Amino acid sequence: KGSCAWEAKADVSKPIDTCAKDGTTRVASNDTVKSGCDGGDGFMCYDQTPWAVNDSYALGFAAAAVSGGEKAACCNCYELSFTSGPVNGKKMTVQVTNTGGDLGSNQFDLAI
């Protein structure tokens, strides 16, 4: 379950969806269902994957550790500019759906 699925993690009217173990069935009691990581029935949804808009721009989702903590990160969008490798010069806008407790400061972990 994405950490941004809990109520009050972000200043939004609706947090991100939580899915059942199959990754596609939406869980109705989003805020009360326990995370699968803790033995519960809440998991990330499979449709939170990236897609190309064109050859140089994509949209997607990510875990992030940004200044200000979870409240600053959850459900916000960021434009990433790639500066090396096969994606050099391309951009991607991501919505943060999870926090990255194991990430360094201002680091993104793309959901793929």
Residue 23: CB partners within 8 Å, gap ≥ 6?
A: 43, 44, 45, 46
Q: Which domains does the chain possess? A: 3-111 (2.40.40.10)
What's the pTM?
0.86
pLDDT grade, residue 105 (50/70/90)? Answer: confident
pLDDT value for 89: 97
Q: What is the CA 99 to chain-centroid distance, rounded?
A: 7
Higher pLDDT, residue 100 or 14 = 14
